[in-house]
Amino acid sequence: MAKTTVTLEVKGVKETLAKIDLANAKVRKAVQEQIGKSALNIQFGAKKRCPVRTGALRNSITVDFYGVMSAQIGPHMPYAPYVEYGTRKMRAQPYLFPAFEEERPRFEEGLAKVIKGAIK
């Protein structure tokens, strides 16, 4: 069964290392903070939009951090994809992807500020 999650991950790190010193503790911390802030905003937005019958689905939406440049946000209930995407007999009730789309511009803008500050 497919899992319903959103993953925030900074890709192209190797290429970017030529311009940005991610080993620099300040830059690394700023990027981690931006990823963490956006991940928590997505979690909040998903919980806000999540349809509630018993509250189990909403309460299962968590943020997991993997390494320095990645966070995964998603529910841990087996029926989560059916709610997000719908079925033949049930309309979709998206809650995770809209939360991601709402946060995306803020994430990109925040990350761009961090990177521009590091390049200067």
Quick one: pLDDT at residue 56?
98
The answer to whether residue 63 scores a pLDDT higher than 70 is yes
Distance of CA 66 to the CA centre of its chain: 12
Quick one: pLDDT at residue 13?
58
Global pTM value: 0.81
Quick one: pLDDT at residue 15?
65
Q: Which residues of 32-60 are buried (b: 16+ CB within 10 A; e: fewer)?
A: bebbeebbebbbebbbebbeeeeeebbee
Quick one: pLDDT at residue 112?
86
The dihedral sign for the CA sequence 20, 25, 28, 31: negative
Place of tokens 């951090």: 65
Quick one: pLDDT at residue 30?
85
The predicted model gives 63-90 an average pLDDT of 93
Quick one: pLDDT at residue 16?
61
Report angle CA 71, 1, 59 to the nearest 5 degrees: 50
pLDDT band with cut points at 50, 70 and 90 for residue 2: low
Mean residue pLDDT across the chain? 86
Distance CA 75, CA 4 (A): 7
The answer to whether residue 84 scores a pLDDT higher than 90 is yes
